[in-house]
Amino acid sequence: MTRYVIKGGSLLGENVADIEIHDGFITAIGQNLSGDVHVDASGCVVLPGLVDLHTHMREPGREDAETVLSGSRAAAKGGFTAVHAMANTNPVADTAGVVEQVWRLGQQAGLVDVRPVGAVTVALAGTSLAELGAMADSAAGVRVFSDDGKCVWDASLMRRALEYVKAFDGVIAQHAQEPRLTEGAQMNEGVVSGKLGLTGWPAVAEEAIIARDVLLAHHVGSRLHVCHLSTAGSVDIIRWAKARGINVTAEVTPHHLFFTDDVVMSYDPIFKVNPPLRTQADVEAVRAGLADGTIDIVATDHAPWPSEDIDCEWTAAAFGMTGLESALAVVNATMVKTGLMSWASVAQRMSVAPAAIGRVHDQGQPLVVGSPANIVVFNADIEAVVEPTESVSASRNTPYRGLTLPGKVIATFYRGRATVLDGELV
Amino acid sequence: MKHLLSAGDLSREQAITILDTATQLAAATAQGVGKLPPLRGRTVVNLFYEDSTRTRISFEAAAKRLSADVINFSAKGSSVSKGESLKDTALTLEAMGADAVVIRHDASGAPHRLANSGWISGGVVNAGDGTHEHPTQALLDAYTLRNHLKNNQGDLDGVKVAIVGDVLHSRVARSNVLLLRTLGAQVRLVAPPTLLPIGVNTWGAEVSYNLDESITDVDAVMMLRVQRERMNAAFFPTAHEYSFRYGLNANRMKTMQDHAIVMHPGPMNRGMEISADVADSARSVIVEQVANGVSVRMAVLYLLLGGTEGI
């Protein structure tokens, strides 16, 4: 197998060293190492391969939007070495059969670990528990369960799900959205929605569910993960829950770190997403929460759609935006360039912690000799205009199109194999 | 002016130009010379995704009185069906050479999409989009106010208007607040708290929950249509209670100033937000609003399409 040496990169943005990769592992770290292929990482940061707890690979069912293969390619190009594929496919990933299918498709693609997320309830209908144990025991080894796209709204069912997954160290990842408060909701409820005449999605609809769920998790002694937290109030609730020792983790998406709902003034559905883009105060709160560790991880909620689902009037458009290829640059722009976070913290939030929450072995490991060689090399200073047609995802619905973002993934190594070199898929 | 999408896009000067042009066009029409020539050879498409006989025929009459060719395209029901998207319809209209598209759509922002997505090159007039805006309604209301209170000249400085009813779901209210403020009027929004949007305090209008306290000092009371189905979503308990607290009846009308007028964009729910005797009273300018609508829409189309021949 090829012996790679990543030359002169700054490990976690700190010490400059060479990394030798051989047979899937980091085999040496030091100065002046040499190998078969050298990757020039001078001026770059070197991080453990990124782990995404929240993507939509759309397969099976919406292969026109994304497949496990095309999504894996987008992930690798974005510096990821593991992704979780949400369960809201067609058929829904609510049985061992479907999660094994997704897992096998990931193995065949071979570019990242594809970790299927199992549905909490049958058909995401919110009425009866799916066979969570069967999915956990399957070849896919599911540990994260979510009805993402829909909220597990029934408090009793949520309690049972939280309890039940303790048997196999699972976690319920909740899409926190009180359904009655968000009927027909189109965007954040606030000054902008009032002006635009679009039905509002109030912050309280997220916060009320999170408050309920942390109390439930506390009551039954289970672990809870909160998907795509988006409001200042949610950050406060998570901070309160953690202070009380409740076993809760939370994620924020790159787009909620970056955009406010002012962009909806354009009525361009490229900005239509669930939960919706919020206000400046919310953006500042989620950034602060991510910086201080209240929010544990960044997860993309990569939600690809073909143009016919986006190139229409706002209310007819689908919710969602792509995120895998832009995630690291957006975190760089919003958290690192702003001085809020170090690269070591980025590694924690985008690799170590998500791997731990998802119980993904061999991922999120430290950059030391003996670790599996899951590595991303990122040049944080290359400025590039986002051009949707350059995306390797099957879809083009990036909200950053036309914007200049700082940073580019130069190389990605997945279990010792280069999936990206010179910024391009291998 | 390339498009008319929001009343908020108009400067005071532009708004006054539209109103003055409407006045001239109304006078020319009243002379009985028949059709005016300025838009001869131009094509105006009325693209209506919602039933709206009044607004459609108002635009149709306006375009025809200016000698434009009018195509009525009714696409009701297809707005959210992927089969016939707004984009495809727009591309079709573009291919047919529409100079202006007048669009009524149940989705807020659909006219913005039509104007700004590169689908068509012609002008776009928002004839009412979802719960967003209805700028020509605001223009005709301003025209009517100016006619009664300002001798049909200049702006609306010093005029006080109460807008009463379902502000939350009203495109008429949104456009009126924007335009009336631009023209210097003071606006007071009167509604139960459930029918006021979050953020209404940033609109630059006074807000009141009490109708009785809100109509004694104004120059005009504009009643908004309240759909009975809002009841089912618990915006208010019953139609009876709504009418009792927020309906304009003869007793309330007596407390208004002598010169104050009563307006309604139609269609009215007689007995709900407005009683029949108020609607038919001498203060009511509701029928005039309809007539003024044609003049104002003529002015908008004339200015939008850059009519160069004399009026």
User: Domains plus CATH for chain A?
Assistant: 49-365+381-402 (3.20.20.140)
The partner residues of A384 in beta bridges, in order of sequence, read A405
Please enumerate in sequence order all residues whose Cβ is within 8 A of that of B76, keeping only pairs 6 or more positions apart, or say none. Answer: B48, B49, B50, B51
Name every chain B residue with its beta carbon within 8 A of the beta carbon of A189: 198
Contact B220, B161 (CB under 8 A): yes
The shortest C-alpha distance from B79 to chain A (Å) reads: 8
For residue B194, is it within any domain?
yes
Query: What angle (nearest 5°) sits at the alpha carbon of residue B51, between those of residues B45 and B53?
Result: 75
Q: Which two tokens stand for residue A27?
A: 């085999």
> Are B152 and B257 found together in one domain?
yes
For residue B310, is it within any domain?
no
DSSP state of B119: S
Burial of A266 (0-12, 13-18, 19+ CB in 10 A): middle
> Are B142 and B243 found together in one domain?
yes
For the segment B208-229, the average pLDDT, to the nearest whole number, is 94
3-state SS, residue B250: helix
> Are B18 and B115 found together in one domain?
yes
Q: How many CB pairs under 8 A join A and B?
A: 84
Distances (CA, A) of A361 to A20, A82, A108, A310, B159: 21, 10, 19, 37, 71
Contact B99, B67 (CB under 8 A): no
- The phi-psi region of residue A408 (left if phi > 0; otherwise alpha if psi is between -120 and 50; otherwise beta) is beta
Its pTM stands at 0.94
Contact A84, A106 (CB under 8 A): no
Structure-token match 């009203």, residue found: B170
Q: Which two tokens stand for residue A308?
A: 């016919």
Please enumerate in sequence order all residues whose Cβ is within 8 A of that of A406, keeping only pairs 6 or more positions apart, or say none. Answer: A329, A332, A333, A337, A380, A381, A382, A383
Q: CB–CB of A313 and B107 under 8 A?
A: yes
The pLDDT tens digits of the residues spanning B148-200 come to 999 999 999 999 999 999 999 999 999 999 999 999 999 999 999 999 999 99
Q: Look up A309 and say whether it is catalytic.
A: no
> Are B204 and B110 found together in one domain?
no
Closest residue on chain B to A196 (Cα): B132
For residue B311, is it within any domain?
no
The shortest C-alpha distance from B109 to chain A (Å) reads: 6
B254: domain CATH number? 3.40.50.1370
3-state SS, residue B126: strand
Give which of A267, A307, A308 to mutate to test B binding, by max B Cβ within 10 Å.
Answer: A267
> Are B15 and B119 found together in one domain?
yes
For the segment B257-282, the average pLDDT, to the nearest whole number, is 96
Name every chain B residue with its beta carbon within 8 A of the beta carbon of A196: 108-109, 132
pLDDT at residue B84, as a whole number: 66
**Cβ under 8 Å to B: A residues 247-266:** 266
Asked whether the predicted pLDDT for residue B78 surpasses 80, the reply is no
Q: How far apart are CA B120 and CA B118, in angstroms?
A: 6
For residue B2, is it within any domain?
no
pLDDT band for position B76 (cuts 50, 70, 90): low
pLDDT band for position B230 (cuts 50, 70, 90): confident
> Are B233 and B164 found together in one domain?
yes
Average pLDDT value for chain B: 92
CB of A315 within 8 Å of a chain B CB? The answer is yes
For residue B59, is it within any domain?
yes
Give which of B113, B117, B224 to mutate to test A binding, by max A Cβ within 10 Å.
Answer: B113
Q: CB–CB of B198 and A267 under 8 A?
A: no
For residue B94, is it within any domain?
yes
Q: CB–CB of A191 and B87 under 8 A?
A: no
Structure-token match 């009336």, residue found: B180
Asked whether the predicted pLDDT for residue B81 surpasses 80, the reply is no
* A312 vs B87, B112, B116: nearest CB: B87
> Are B19 and B57 found together in one domain?
yes
Q: CB–CB of B107 and A202 under 8 A?
A: no
> Are B279 and B146 found together in one domain?
yes
For the segment B223-250, the average pLDDT, to the nearest whole number, is 90
> Are B251 and B144 found together in one domain?
yes
> Are B151 and B261 found together in one domain?
yes
Burial of A243 (0-12, 13-18, 19+ CB in 10 A): exposed
- The phi-psi region of residue B232 (left if phi > 0; otherwise alpha if psi is between -120 and 50; otherwise beta) is alpha
Q: How far apart are CA B21 and CA A426, in angstroms?
A: 65
Range(s) of the domain holding residue B150 = 135-286
pLDDT at residue B82, as a whole number: 46
CB of A276 within 8 Å of a chain B CB? The answer is no
pLDDT at residue A243, as a whole number: 98
**Mean pLDDT, chain A cut into blocks of 10 residues (426 residues total):** 95 98 98 97 98 98 98 98 98 98 98 98 98 98 98 98 98 98 98 98 98 98 98 98 98 98 97 98 98 98 96 94 98 98 98 98 97 98 96 98 98 98 97
* B82 vs A186, A199, A308: nearest CB: A308
Count the domains in chain B. 2
Name every chain A residue with its beta carbon within 8 A of the beta carbon of B107: 313-316
For residue B272, is it within any domain?
yes
CB neighbours of residue B181 within 10 Å: 18
> Are B96 and B152 found together in one domain?
no
Q: CA A64: distance to chain centroid?
A: 21
Asked whether the predicted pLDDT for residue B310 surpasses 50, the reply is no
Q: CB–CB of A314 and B113 under 8 A?
A: yes
For residue B263, is it within any domain?
yes
Asked whether the predicted pLDDT for residue B86 surpasses 80, the reply is yes
Q: Spot the catalytic one: A52, A147, A148, A301.
A: A301
Cα atoms in the Cβ-side hemisphere of radius 13 Å centred on A42: 4
Contact A98, A89 (CB under 8 A): yes
> Are B140 and B282 found together in one domain?
yes
DSSP state of B224: P
Pick the closest to residue A164 from A130, A124, A213 (CA basis).
A130
* B110 vs A186, A190, A313: nearest CB: A313
pLDDT band for position B77 (cuts 50, 70, 90): low
